[in-house]
Amino acid sequence: MSYEDQQLDLKGIEAVIFDLDGTLVESEPVWAEAKKYIANREKIDVSEQVVLAYVGRSVADFVKEVIAPVNLQIIEKAIIDRALSRYDYNVFEIPGATDLIRKFSKNGFVVAICSSAPEKAILKCIQLLNVETCINTVVSSECLLRGKPDKFPYVETLRTLGISSEKAIVFEDAPAGLTSSISAGIKTVCVGSFIESQRFPCEMFAKNICDINLVGSK
């Protein structure tokens, strides 16, 4: 696998794990709007900087730490419902995402998604990308005790896949996800333009996922 002058040997890799929001689909504006809308309803002023700090983290974390621990589940559901109601016309594929997923699947890799998004959102995006037959496993932090940046979501993904960390590679875009995957001991490719991401010990940095070249098979 290559990007510009970077090379990454995929020998021994059996599974490819993708983050979702910001990595495969452009959905963060939808979630940002829903969080700010519901926070405002609850009389909480939320700045762009605060919203940005929760990119890659669960809605539950945002509600608990920014709005209030009281009525957490009700408020969390309100944010999720508002975001999902706007998904169909406001969430788009990040160019090249579908093609890369299909290439990995075609070349015999197991493909998984590990995301902080609710499972309903993940499934909507899989349909949007039209890659239902390529995805072997979906892990949502919604169903876990601890979400990103904790390593637990990726540890759980490895457990579900039945493989060790040395046999997997992750594609992530945000600091919370990078912290999670790297602390789980998985080789990680950073995609996107988060400046903070440059400080992480990733195997490869790619500004555009569409320019990543997958050569040959495992």
Q: Are residues 15 and 33 in the same domain?
A: no
What confidence score (pLDDT) does residue 189 get? Answer: 97
The predicted pLDDT at position 125 comes to 96
- 40 Cβ contact list (under 8 Å, min separation 6): 46
Instruction: List the chain residues with pLDDT less than 50.
Output: 217-218
Q: DSSP letter at 21?
A: B
Residues 62 and 169 in one domain: no
pLDDT at 215 (0 to 100): 72
> Do 184 and 85 share a structural domain?
no
What pLDDT does 161 receive? 97
Instruction: Domain of residue 132: give its range.
Output: 2-26+91-211
Give residue 177's identity as a one-letter amino acid code: G
Return the pLDDT at 59: 94
The verdict on 12 and 56 lying in the same domain is no
pLDDT of residue 185: 98
pTM, entire model: 0.91
pLDDT of res. 20: 96
Q: Are residues 16 and 51 in the same domain?
A: no
Residue 22 and residue 118 in one domain: yes
Give the domain-ending residue among 73, 90, 107: 90
pLDDT at 196 (0 to 100): 75
Verify that 14 and 118 share a domain, yes or no.
yes
| Range 77-101 burial, b when 16+ CB lie within 10 A, else e | ebbbebbbeebeeebebbebbbbbb
Helices 72-85 and 119-129 pack at an angle, to 10 degrees, of 10
The answer on 202 and 158 residing in a single domain is yes
Read off the tokens for 15: 């599974």
* Three-state DSSP class for residue 180: helix
Output the pLDDT for position 216.
52
Q: What pairs with residue 137 in β-bridges? A: 112
